[in-house]
Structure 1
Amino acid sequence: MIGCLLIHGFTGAPYEVEPLAKYLKERTDWSIRVPTLPGHGVPGSLKGVQYQEWIDHAEAELTHLITTCDKVYVVGFSMGGMIASYLAANYPVEKLILLSAAAFYLNPKQLTIDIKEMIKDSLRGNLQDNELFLRYKRKIKETPFAATLQFRRLVTFIKPLLHQVNVPTFIAQGECDGIVPLKSAEYLFHTISAKQKKLALFKHSKHLICHCEERDALFSQVLAFLNEKKQV
């Protein structure tokens, strides 16, 4: 049996990767796990949580799959992509999928565009209908500064280990991502040591790439990569 672990991002929850999990469930007989990282899923729960707890939780989920499956794939979104990379560098992971993975954080150019759109909606009286505004507002309101510091420490801890990732890796990034800049995907592609790797850019996709209009094309590429014969 094949196992597949999907890891959500910082301040997020399984919903961030659920569309991909659903896509895989409908087309495979794999054992799929989509855990909620400590402090996530319930507003206000991140206070006091250390980044090592996120890694430990993901390790426990992966260990379960390794002990019950013949081979395991790991998918990580945003911060989850960094955790997934750590797992791939330290455990017998067969393939790695990185979605909007946060080796770098904040894309000033796209963020400026997004803010301009929010201002336009505000002038029209439609700001409360702007999904991006609501998401930013929630994240700012619910995220303790200490938790943000833990996120940055996690990235700092994992980045030096990226060159140890030798498993086939698929990296996907939206070109309209206002949270993670394009250079993050490019950095991951050039830093990861895997011989079999692919970088796929999606012209109209923002940060929540599993929910964007190009998600069907993304999901089909992910599944094709996972089903592709591993190069020796």
Structure 2
Amino acid sequence: MIGCLCIHGFTGAPYEVEPLAEYLHEKTTWRIVVPTLPGHGETLSLKGITYKQWIECAEKEMEKLLVECETVDVIGFSMGGLIAAYLAEKYPVEKLILLSAAAKYINVGQLLKDIKQMWKDMRSGTLSENELFLRYKNKFLFTPISAAWQFRKMAACSKPLFAKIQTPTFIAQGLADGIVPPKSAEYIYRRLPSRHKEIYYVPHAKHHICHTGEKEQLFEKVFTFLKGSSRVI
């Protein structure tokens, strides 16, 4: 059996990667696991949580899959991409998928455009319909500074690992992402010594790349990369 571990991002929850997980579930008989990292979920409780706890959570799920399955793939979104890189360097990961992986963060130009649009929507009384505002309003309110510092530690811990990863890797990045800039994907691609690596840009996707209108094309490319030419689906 093939196992697939999907890891969500900072201040996020499984919903961030669930569209892709559901797509793979429908297409395959693989064992697909989407854990909730400590302090995360629909209600954030990040105070006192360390980045090491996020890694330990992912490692436990990885070790379970390695016992249950013949091979294991890892999919990581945003900060989950950093954790996925950690796992790929430490464990025998068969294939690695990095979605909006946060090796670098804050795309100032796009973020300013998004803020400008929110301001327009607020003045016109339609802010409650702005998808970006709806996704992030609670995160801004309930994310302690200490948690943001733990995220920075996670990034510092993981970034050097990209230069050691030999695992076949597929990198996907939205060009309209205000949180993680396209240069993050470029940085990862250049650093990876893996002989089998691909990079794919989704033209209009913002940060939540699994929820973009172009997600079907993205999912097809991810699935094609994962299944290869000989794997049992």
Relative to the length of structure 2, the TM-score reads 0.97
Identity %: 57
Indicate how the Cα distance of structure 1 residues 139 and 198 shifts in structure 2: closer, same or farther if over 3 A, else same: same
Give the match for residue 63 of structure 1: 63
Give the match for residue 39 of structure 1: 39
Give the match for residue 114 of structure 2: 114
Give the match for residue 136 of structure 2: 136
Give the match for residue 225 of structure 2: 225
Q: Equivalents in 2 of 1:182, 1:23: separation in Å?
A: 25
Q: CA deviation at 1:58?
A: 0.2
Q: Equivalents in 2 of 1:5, 1:68: separation in Å?
A: 12
Matching of residue 8 in structure 1 with residue 8 in structure 2: yes
Q: Equivalents in 2 of 1:133, 1:190: separation in Å?
A: 33
Give the match for residue 54 of structure 1: 54
SS of equivalent residue, structure 1 residue 74: strand
Contiguous gaps of at least 5 residues in structure 1: none
SS of equivalent residue, structure 2 residue 88: helix
Q: Equivalents in 2 of 1:156, 1:214: separation in Å?
A: 31
Q: Report 1:60-209 matches (<5 A).
A: 60-209=60-209
* Divergent runs of 4+, >6 A: none
Q: Do the aligned residues in 1 keep the contact of 2:11 with 2:44 (CA within 8 Å)?
A: no
1:28-81 residue CA offsets vs partner (Å, 9 max, x unmatched): 000000000000014241000000000000000000000110000000000000
SS of equivalent residue, structure 2 residue 3: strand
1:5-30 residue CA offsets vs partner (Å, 9 max, x unmatched): 00000000000000000000000000
1:154-200 residue CA offsets vs partner (Å, 9 max, x unmatched): 00011111111101000000000010001000001011111100000
Relative to the length of structure 1, the TM-score reads 0.97
**Counterpart AA for 2:140:** I
Q: Equivalents in 1 of 2:44, 2:30: separation in Å?
A: 34
**Counterpart AA for 2:96:** L
RMSD: 1.0
SS of equivalent residue, structure 2 residue 167: coil
Give the total of aligned pairs.
Answer: 230
Q: Equivalents in 2 of 1:196, 1:218: separation in Å?
A: 18
Q: Equivalents in 1 of 2:224, 2:116: separation in Å?
A: 37
Q: Equivalents in 2 of 1:211, 1:163: separation in Å?
A: 29
Give the match for residue 211 of structure 1: 211
SS of equivalent residue, structure 1 residue 109: helix
Contiguous gaps of at least 5 residues in structure 2: none
SS of equivalent residue, structure 1 residue 125: coil
Q: Equivalents in 1 of 2:74, 2:229: separation in Å?
A: 16
Give the match for residue 19 of structure 1: 19
**Counterpart AA for 1:83:** I
Q: CA deviation at 1:229?
A: 4.3
**Counterpart AA for 1:154:** M
